Structure 1
Amino acid sequence: MDIKFGFADTSRELVIRVAGEQDAYLKQVNDALANNTQLEIEDEKGKKFIVRTDRVVYVELGSSSQHQVGFAGV
């Protein structure tokens, strides 16, 4: 699943690919935004991210779909 953060005053986004349930991350993000605290997230490869929530404009949580590559014989 991908978590995409949009920040104020910049057109760049931060996309973190995580393993786990969407509802658990949704609660974690909502709590951090409501309390204006830092958000700590670990990605699929074990890298840790600390996101300051005071500049977050939007967060998009969703399943990343696997793109098929190549040709399929019918």
Structure 2
Amino acid sequence: MEVKIGVQHAPRELTVETDDSADAVEKAVADAVASSGVLTLVDGKGRRVVVPADRLAYVEIGGGVAGQVGVR
């Protein structure tokens, strides 16, 4: 699952490829915002991305589409 995170006052967004479902990511975002804590996501290689919830500008949760080479 591809997750794009916009951070306030940062010129670029963060992109994380995670094995979590869209529902799990949405719940993690909602919990972080509700508790004014941090959003923590783990990517496919085990690396952690931690963003303070009060600095989130947006979170885009998408499936990530693989290219279709040679398909008609």
Give the Cα–Cα distance (whole angstroms) in 2 for the partners of residues 65 and 13 of structure 1: 19
SS across alignment from 1:64: coil
How many residues were matched structurally? 72
Q: Normalised by the size of structure 1, how large is the TM-score?
A: 0.84
Q: Runs ≥4 in structure 1, deviation > 3 angstroms?
A: none
Name structure 2 gaps, 5 residues minimum. Answer: none
Aligned-pair CA distance for 1:49: 1.5
| Within-5 A mapping of 1:52-71 | 52-69=52-69, 71=70
Q: What letter is aligned with 2:55?
A: R
Normalising by structure 2, we get a TM-score of 0.86
- Report which of the two structures shows the higher radius of gyration computed on alpha carbons: 1
Q: Which residue of 2 aligns with 1:49?
A: 49
Percent of pairs with identical residues: 36
**Deviation of the 1:3 alpha carbon:** 0.9
1:32 corresponds to which residue? 32
Q: CA deviation at 1:4?
A: 0.8
Distance in 2, Cα, partners of 1:14 & 1:33: 17
Deviations 1:11-63 (A, max 9, x none): 20001100121111111111101221012211011111211111111111111
Q: Distance in 1 between matches of 2:67 and 2:18?
A: 17
1:13 corresponds to which letter in structure 2? E
